[in-house]
């Protein structure tokens, strides 16, 4: 199956600093990647859709200046949490859709646990 690698798995940062999370498709090309946020014991909330070579599309209520997304290549998308605050602490998950693996097949990274202190 297709593999999506997300890095780092966990990160602790100080309030006010920025944190970058990487999402890589290891063995397939992904024109579209998705970024989710998951609070404890809750479902996945879509933050934004990332398209290679173009600007990301953010869901309503998600601050695009705070959550910067870059999809510079067909195998890499990054999410940067800028000026992080404790309320940004959460579990962030990316997924990638393989362009050559059929409709509907989305593969997920292992997630990143962000703690802002």
Nearer residue to other proteins within complex by CB, 46 or 72: 46
Q: Which two tokens stand for residue 7?
A: 């890095």
46: contact with other proteins by CB under 8 A: yes
Under rule CB under 8 A, residue 95 binds other proteins = yes
Q: Are the C-beta atoms of 75 and 98 separated by less than 8 Å?
A: no
Structure tokens, 92: 């962030």
By the rule CB under 8 A, 97 interacts with other proteins: yes
What does the block give as tokens for 52? Answer: 């290679």
Q: How far is the CB of 83 from other proteins (least distance, A)?
A: 26
Beta strands, E only, the chain: 4-7, 10-13, 19-25, 32-38, 44-51, 57-58, 67-73, 76-81, 90-97, 106-108, 112-116
Chosen residue from 15, 17, 18, 42 binding other proteins by CB under 8 A: 42
CB of 98 to other proteins, least distance (A): 12
* Residue range at the interface with other proteins (CB under 8 A); choices 17-25, 31-39, 69-77, 80-88: 31-39
């Amino acid at each position: 199956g297709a593999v999506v690698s997300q890095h780092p798995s966990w990160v602790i940062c100080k309030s006010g600093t920025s944190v970058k999370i990487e999402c890589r498709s290891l063995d397939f090309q992904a024109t579209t990647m998705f970024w989710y946020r998951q609070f404890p014991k809750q479902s996945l909330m879509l933050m934004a859709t990332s398209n290679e070579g173009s600007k990301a599309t953010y869901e309503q209520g998600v601050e695009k200046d705070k959550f910067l997304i870059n999809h510079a290549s067909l195998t890499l998308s990054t999410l940067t949490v800028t000026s992080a605050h404790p309320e940004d602490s959460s579990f962030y998950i990316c997924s990638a859709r393989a362009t050559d693996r059929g409709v509907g097949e989305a593969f997920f990274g292992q997630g990143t646990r962000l703690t802002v202190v």
